[in-house]
Structure 1
Amino acid sequence: MELKQIWDVLANIMDAPLVWISLVTLLILAVLWAVTRVIKSEGNRESKGLWILVLVFIPVFGLLAWLVAGPKVRSGSDAVSQRH
């Protein structure tokens, strides 16, 4: 495949609104999931608020940063042992 053919394929994908709608929907769902995980985490209110602001206003970078350095939720075995 030559470069012009590759470029044409990419241009066709970029012109497809269904692709963009799907990507934005997935991004919104991922941000909502991350925000709920932040809310359920054991961090203090200030750190939770900061993470939520970053996730909402800078979604792609915020998700990547949160996945690397965000608040951690207790593992299942710790949560079970503390309930009993």
Structure 2
Amino acid sequence: MEYGILGLIILIADIYAIIQVLGSNASTLAKVIWTIAIIALPVLGLLIWLIAGPRSSRASV
């Protein structure tokens, strides 16, 4: 049961990361590479995206 909940949390975080990547100002190639990385390596891709991924087009306040 614990692994199911953990998997669901990772899935939700990955979907959020992909949405943020697609909404960023990055080039199309960068968006494709980030999306593939997040899908192919769900946990590692998410962690790398959190550290070095493209930022969203909205200005943070």
Pair in the same fold by TM > 0.5: yes
> Residue 67 of structure 1 aligns to a residue in which SS?
helix
- Does 2:43 correspond to 1:60? yes
1:36 lines up with 2:19 in the alignment = yes
- Which consecutive residues of structure 1, in runs of 5 or more, have no partner in the other structure? 1-17, 78-84
Q: What is the CA–CA distance in structure 2 between the aligned matches of 1:71 and 1:25, rounded to whole Å?
A: 24
Shift >2 Å, 4+ stretches: none
Pairing 1:47–2:30 present: yes
Q: CA deviation at 1:75?
A: 1.5
* TM-score after normalising by structure 1: 0.68
Report the residue type matching 1:75 in the other structure. A
User: For residue 13 of structure 1, what is the aligned residue in structure 2?
Assistant: none
TM-score, normalised to structure 2's length? 0.92
Query: Whose radius of gyration is greater, 1 or 2?
Result: 1
Higher helix share: 1
Greater relative contact order structure (CA < 8 Å, 6+ sep): 2
